[in-house]
Amino acid sequence: MFNKTIKYTLVSLTIWGMVGCSERTITVPRTTTTHPRATVPVAKEPSIKEEILLGQNAKNPNLGNRVDAPVNNPTLGEMIGGTYGDANATEYSDEEQNIPGEIIERMPFPAEEYKYVKKRGRSTVSGMIYLENSYNSQKVPGQKIKLWLNPVTTYSRQWYQESYLGGYRLSKTDSRIYNYLKFTYSNESGKFNFFGVPSGDYYLVGTMSCGEECGFSQSKSIRLVREISVGRGVTNVDLTKPVP
């Protein structure tokens, strides 16, 4: 009996020792570490602050048809401000200076009236300057001729009636008038364009020199003037005169 008890005791100790010496497995719970996602700023499209519309458009009916600017006048009509010189010198032609030598005094410059004259607009004036020989109906184009638009006012009407129609010379022009004139040049074919013209009434003016092709025995300076009305879009008008 005693021996059997010792036997069981030894077996129990052996089993306990084997269990005590075996590897123990420790399970560590997995932890997930999250890293913040990098954000890249996206550039925003620049907001459009202004829209330029060309041609006839339902949203802006005031804009006229677009016309290509000539190479020799890429700007929209030059504003001259200043001196009694080139523009005024061509105001008189040889034709008028040979008629009575009397000089008529110009009226005072109506500054109050010109406050209401617009300097910039969106209309275009296009056409051709030429003289027409009455004998053979030949058209003589004005090549590289300086033209200008002069708004119709009491001041410019005096010039039209007394100088152009009456043939008299007027006293010196007030230099402030040049801030309201628009200038351009014709091309080799006599075609011209004025851009950025406000709606209204104008005197379209140009001076050509012509000789035998116009029926004259020698070259003569001819002034051409036409009163025109400019509306929206493109105003097509020719500046012409029959000669001799």
Instruction: Encode pLDDT of 208-224 as tens digits.
Output: 999 999 999 999 999 99
* Residue spans of the chain under pLDDT 70: 1-101
pLDDT the model gives residue 4:
53
Token output for 86? 């080139």
pLDDT on residue 205: 98
- Going by C-alpha positions, the residue among 149, 124, 127 that lies closest to residue 202 is 149
pLDDT at 109 (0 to 100): 98
193-223 b/e (C-beta count within 10 Å ≥ 16 → b): bbbebbbbebbbbbbbebeeebbeeeebebb
What pLDDT was estimated at residue 102?
78
Please name the fold of domain 86-243. Immunoglobulin-like (2.60.40)
- Per residue in 174-218, pLDDT (tens digit) is 999 999 999 999 999 999 999 999 999 999 999 999 999 999 999
Q: Which of 145, 242, 163, 148 is nearest to 202 (CA)?
A: 148
pLDDT of the residue at 6: 53
Tokens of 140: 């003589």
3-state helix, strand, coil in the chain (%, to 5): 20, 25, 50
Taking alpha carbons only, the member of 183, 174, 211, 184 closest to residue 94 is 211
Domain locations in the chain as residue ranges: 86-243
- pTM, two decimal places: 0.61
pLDDT for the residue numbered 106: 96
The pLDDT, as a whole number, for residue 101 is 62
What is the distance, to the nearest Å, from the Cα of residue 18 to the centroid of all Cα atoms in its chain? 101
